Amino acid sequence: MNRTSILCLCLSCCFLLQGFSVLEVTAQSETMEYIAIIQEGQERFLQPIIGSFLASHPVFSSLLGRALEKHYTQHSAVEFASYINQSLTLKFIDGSYVVLLDVFASHPELSSQPIRTSHSVVSSEEPTALILNPSEYLYGNFFCRRIISHLIAKGYNIEYRANEAVNLSYIKQHLGAEIVYMNTHAGYWDIDGDHTADAVVIATGELWTNETEEIYSFEFENQMIVKGVVGSKSFVSFTPALITYSYNEETLPSSLIYMATCHATADASMATAFLQAGAEVYLGWNHDTVFWTNLLTSCLAFRLLVRGFSVQQICFLLRSGGFFNFLYHSKLHYIGNGNHRIVD
């Protein structure tokens, strides 16, 4: 090989290497562009009204949600935007999805508070009740301590996990308990852009990173997870498909599943997945919920449970739980066996 050929080969290699660099930079720039698109919309429509009474009013939030949907739809990088009951699905032209969870939820400012992983086990024995609090960094753990005290008095072994300790790997493998309580964010995923919810999605405490799609490639490709955005943070969020794939009817021992989230029972998608995996009853809000109402109602629900009330009786007694939930026409609702009780 002569010197000219060697020079041409070296130049070709340089161009190939530069090409790979360009592809990597392009992918990163697209990701940054999508983040900027989401943030721009949030700042324009949400920042002025978050926490206000108007944002909690269902008519106003619906109008604002449609305006936000239209804003995103008009962007050239967005294939479609779909707003459904305080959840907004964005599908970008590269096929990636982002679901904005609890778009108008009233909560403390997310961006100013760091996430701190917390994990504590009340009993060293095999737990029979799981208290999962991915939002501890946001709402604290006082209400969880109250729930735990009620259950310990009833003789339950408890495992408590919070923040990033409630990650996807944990959700996939460790929900086999008699009681599973989870306080977090949730919403709807509209996969095809027809403004109809295809699945309830629930946020874990695990942050979504640039490596998430690679780490969980199987779950991502089979629509078991989606990126869920809450305020300025992105979380790995699971769909009913993950529960269906990870559990069978022998792995959830006639469990009580209590998802203390918005939209947990708005449709039967997530409930059906848990019930088919062996759970006896699935409990949660059938519409939006305000965080303080959600937390107070959770404590009251477990106080009634340990006193022998059935799930059906608890839902009848607690109903909306508070004024703002009443405005949303949101009630504590169950799917499955309403006669389920905590027994000695």
Q: How many CB atoms lie within 10 A of CB 143?
A: 21
Q: Please give the Cα distance from 325 to 249 (Å, whole number).
A: 33
pTM value > 0.85 = no
pLDDT at residue 286, as a whole number: 80
Strand partners for 226: 237
User: Which whole-number Å values give the CA distances from 195 to 31, 39, 81, in the listed order?
Assistant: 25, 22, 9
Q: What is the 3-state secondary structure (H, E, C) of 22-74?
A: HHHHHHHHHHHHHHHHHHHHHHHHCCCCCCCHHHHCHHHHHHHHHHHHHHHHC
118-186+250-336 is classed CATH 3.60.40.10 = no
**Could you tell me how many helices (H) and strands (E) the chain has, helices first?**
13, 14
Strand partners for 256: 179, 281
Q: Where are the domains of the chain?
A: 24-105+193-238, 118-186+250-336
Whether 199 and 85 have beta carbons less than 8 Å apart is answered as no
User: Which SS3 state, helix, strand or coil, does residue 258 take?
Assistant: strand
Phi then psi dihedrals of residue 97, to 5 deg: -115, 150
Residue whose token pair is 């086990």: 121
Residue 59 buriedness (CB in 10 A; 0-12 / 13-18 / 19+): exposed
pLDDT at residue 81, as a whole number: 94
The two tokens of residue 53 are: 């009474």
Residue whose token pair is 């039967």: 268
Whether 133 and 166 have beta carbons less than 8 Å apart is answered as yes
* Among 192, 191, 333, 180, CA closest to 262: 333
Kindly give the parts of the chain with pLDDT less than 70: 1-32, 46-60, 104-127, 292, 321-329, 344
pLDDT tens, residue by residue, 265-309: 888 999 999 999 999 999 998 877 777 678 888 999 999 999 999
pLDDT at residue 122, as a whole number: 61
